[in-house]
Amino acid sequence: MDNYEPTILIIDDDIDLVEVLRITLENENYKVIDAQTGLRGYNLAQTMNPSLIILDVMMGTIDEGFHTAYQIRANPETKDTPIIMLTAVVQQTGFKFSKDDDEAFLPVDEFIEKPVNPKKLIDTVRKLLVPVK
């Protein structure tokens, strides 16, 4: 178990951002896999069993990330996988999401705004991947 290498699935259609996130995460010894659509990401989540998922809100549609998050949570195999949602919605609309929003249940563990601050990303990943004793 000492060689445990957490796998992080990035679901985002912005290849440049995926590569920046990959470099940041691999420098911290995380294994990274990626998908550019919600459907492909959902399928990878089922087959690869990642330790954590980083998911963009807006991909093919303005809310594809939310639909993907609901699908992941609805599946017994992946329902407990931590999800970090990336969003540029604040920049584009001024609307700020919160995982504790009483208005609507958003099935994610944390939100990180774009552009992504690498230190905040790593701190959030570490917090969500605290080993269970």
Please tell me the distance from the alpha carbon of residue 61 to that of residue 38, in angstroms, as a whole number: 10
Total domains, the chain: 1
Residue 92: pLDDT over 80: no
Inside any domain, residue 96: yes
Inside any domain, residue 132: no
Inside any domain, residue 1: no
- Is-contact 17 116, C-beta < 8 A? yes
Task: State residue 107's pLDDT score.
Answer: 87
Averaged pLDDT score across all residues of the chain? 87
Inside any domain, residue 117: yes
Please tell me the distance from the alpha carbon of residue 64 to that of residue 12, in angstroms, as a whole number: 10
Nearest partner of 114 among 78, 68, 69, 65, judged by Cα = 65
Band (95; pLDDT cuts 50, 70, 90): very low
b/e sequence 26-62, b meaning 16+ C-beta within 10 Å: eeeebebbbbbebeebbebbeeeebbbbbbbbbbeee
**Which residues form the domain of 71?**
7-126
Q: What percent of the chain has pLDDT over 70?
A: 82
Average pLDDT of the segment spanning 13-40: 97
CATH of the domain at 98: 3.40.50.2300
Task: State residue 93's pLDDT score.
Answer: 43
**Residue of 91 and 89 predicted with greater confidence:** 89
